[in-house]
Amino acid sequence: MLKGIGASDGIGIGRVMIIAEQSLEYTPKQITDVDAELERYRGAVDKFCDNTVEQANAIRQSTGDKEAEILEGHIAIIRDPFMGGEIENLIKANQCAEAAVDQICKMFIDMFSATGDDLTMQRAADVRDIRDGVIGILLGVQEVKISDAPAGTVLVVKELTPSMTAGIKKENIVGIVTETGSQTSHSAILARALEIPAVLSVQGAVTQLSTDELVIVDGAKGDVITAPSEEQVTEYTNKREAFLRERRELESFRGKVTAGADGIEYELFCNIGTPKDATKAVEADGEGVGLFRTEFLFMDRNQLPTEDEQFDAYKQASLILKGKPLIIRTLDIGGDKEIPYLGLAKEENPFMGFRAIRYCLKNRDMFKSQIKAILRASAFGDIRIMFPLITAVEELREGKALVEEAKADLKASGIAYDENIKVGVMTETAASGVIADLLAKEADFFSIGTNDLTGYTMAADRGNSDVGYLYSPMQPSVLRMIRRIIRCAAAENIPVGMCGEAAANPMMIPLLISFGLTEFSVSAPSVLRVRKNISKWTKAEADAIAEKVMAMTTEAEITAYLETII
Ligand code: PEP
Ligand code: MG
């Protein structure tokens, strides 16, 4: 078996077709007729652009606009006056077109690759694709015809380029295996859009696999099973059918309202970490964002982001959501989330230390600049503020006072913001659960962070496998905590959501419905599955389940019972 990164879910069983790399070798030479060489270069670029338009149109038909835009981006890059100008300058200095294209593209590839940033590195793959395309045309190399691949083909290739993907006939290609790429590379995005199972970054795939051999591609696990036995083929054929059946069923929940079997409606939001993730939330059919973890803006850099940088990020996410709610959590650092340049002192017990809202309230300038950025963005959509790790009413009061101060500053400067912005509490500590009645009187909403709430209630670190047996939201103590928080919110008539992982757990869903949760916030890939799971239950059925569960005394008893009902 070969191992790689599972980049597009599903099972593919088929015969290998290896796409060998075309030789793009050329002998660099000095040219004498500069005008003729410039014409040859420009002709190749025109042809490259024509081919790309054709490929983009093919992708647009088979997959969609967004994927076609990836290819159309190649035209913008090669037509970029700076890049084109540099290439032409080399030709004018008597280099042949192949060498000029190669040299300038290499400069961009090196520059983009050096960033270490996934998205910018993706640009390097694009430029490589462009270089190979243009040099291929200059050399008159015939393009590989993936479109001729017969039904049941598993494509095996060093690097799947967007232009190659354009030739893929969805009905014939059952799997993709590459030697390069990551979850976020264009090939992964395209494979997912085409719904073809894909395993990327399989070391030596091109040399280890041979044409026509039978393989199984498991795009979820990242496995390529070679020489499968008859039993394995049967086992994976069944898995494949079950997967396709589920995919079809889940798709039938796209565009539907989120409602229980009795028609009671719920909100189903997504958790995001970057403004770009907001696009994923929309594509996943999320009805808003229930948790924007803003830490990303502060990580992987050497200094604090400015108010303007933050404003741009929050505004971008909000515009992508087109008026759907966006709950922005203020900076939640400390514990397992480190930001080296803040120079936080090493602590004996960081999870109980100087972190999140505690740190922010003591670093008011930094905190105020984040709050101002959020307020400014609130002029562009339905934005709400949420404070993490609240353990005492004073923290909420101080945070809210700072929001008022920030509003006054903005008003004095004539800057627009939402005067009625809602300020909520992330209930994720045992203390916030116990004083949920007090907090509910002063907060506009709650969102239950079960990842931390479980840890703080059980005094069990989520990252410590030795105490993992205690870390479960289905512990009687955690369930009581959750029920209490929801009841306290209901008593004060404020909405209550859940943004911890438990919101997507099918065993938890009937309990949450019974307790009275009004909003579920989950990762984008879970949206349709959660909507389906919610649709299974009436409130009355959920109440009957919850009544039984809340009478049980151990987590083992509770999970054993819940397993039988889902
Ligand atoms: C939580 O604690 O449940 C939560 C959603 O936040 P994080 O996982 O970022 O701590
Ligand atoms: Mg948390």
Chain segment 538-557, per-residue pLDDT in tens: 999 999 999 999 999 999 99
Distance between Cα 452 and ligand 2 center (Å):
5
Q: What backbone torsions phi and psi does residue 21 show, to the nearest 5 degrees?
A: -70, 135
Count Cβ atoms below 10 Å from residue 8 Cβ, excluding itself: 25
Provide the token pair at 412. Answer: 């004095």
In this structure, which ligand is nearest to the CA of 500? 1
In this structure, which ligand is nearest to the CA of 448? 1
Distance between Cα 333 and ligand 2 center (Å):
10
Residue 145 has pLDDT above 90, yes or no: no
In this structure, which ligand is nearest to the CA of 498? 1
The fraction of the chain above a pLDDT of 70, given in percent, is: 99
Does residue 290 line the site of ligand 1, with CB under 6 A? no
Find the angle CA(272)-CA(275)-CA(281) to the nearest 5 degrees. Answer: 50
Indicate the burial class of 506 (C-beta count within 10 angstroms; 0-12, 13-18, 19 or more).
Answer: middle
Distance between Cα 498 and ligand 1 center (Å):
10
Tens of pLDDT, residues 72-94: 889 999 999 999 999 999 999 99
Does residue 450 line the site of ligand 1, with CB under 6 A? yes
Provide the token pair at 273. Answer: 């970490």
Distance CA 464, CA 300 (A): 25
Residue 451 has pLDDT above 90, yes or no: yes
Residue 186 has pLDDT above 80, yes or no: no
Does residue 452 line the site of ligand 1, with CB under 6 A? yes
Alpha helices in 380-475 (DSSP H): 393-412, 430-434, 436-442, 450-458
Distance CA 37, CA 505 (A): 63
In this structure, the chain runs to a length of: 566
Q: Atom 6 of ligand 1 has which residue's CA nearest to it?
A: 449
Find the angle CA(147)-CA(174)-CA(50) to the nearest 5 degrees. Answer: 25
Per DSSP, the residues of 280-297 read HHHHTT-SSEEEEETHHH
Side chain identity at residue 309, one-letter code: E
Does residue 102 line the site of ligand 1, with CB under 6 A? no
Tens of pLDDT, residues 84-138: 999 999 999 999 999 999 999 999 999 888 877 777 777 888 898 899 899 999 9
Q: For residue 451, give the ligand 1 atom closest to its CA.
A: 3
Distance between Cα 452 and ligand 1 center (Å):
6
Q: What is the band of 187 on the pLDDT scale with cuts at 50, 70, 90?
A: confident
Distance CA 194, CA 160 (A): 13
Residue 165 has pLDDT above 80, yes or no: no
Distance between Cα 451 and ligand 1 center (Å):
5
Distance CA 254, CA 249 (A): 10
Distance CA 181, CA 4 (A): 10
519 CA to centre of own chain = 20
User: What is the model's pLDDT at position 321?
Assistant: 98
Indicate the burial class of 500 (C-beta count within 10 angstroms; 0-12, 13-18, 19 or more).
Answer: buried
Does residue 559 line the site of ligand 1, with CB under 6 A? no
Q: Which residue has the tokens 């209550």?
A: 496
Provide the token pair at 538. Answer: 């009436």
User: What is the model's pLDDT at position 147?
Assistant: 83
Q: Atom 1 of ligand 1 has which residue's CA nearest to it?
A: 449
Residue 143 has pLDDT above 80, yes or no: no
Side chain identity at residue 203, one-letter code: Q
Q: Which of 178, 205, 157, 224 is nearest to 3 (CA)?
A: 224
- Cα–Cα distance list, 106 to 87, 98, 132 (Å): 11, 12, 11
Q: Atom 8 of ligand 1 has which residue's CA nearest to it?
A: 451
At residue 276, the 3 state secondary structure works out as helix
User: Among all residues, which ones are annotated catalytic?
Assistant: 186, 499
Per-residue burial over 408-428, b if 16 or more Cβ lie within 10 Å, else e, is eebeeeeeebbeebbbbbbbb
Three state DSSP letters for 42-77:
HHHHHHHHHHHHHHHHHHHHHCCHHHHHHHHHHHHH
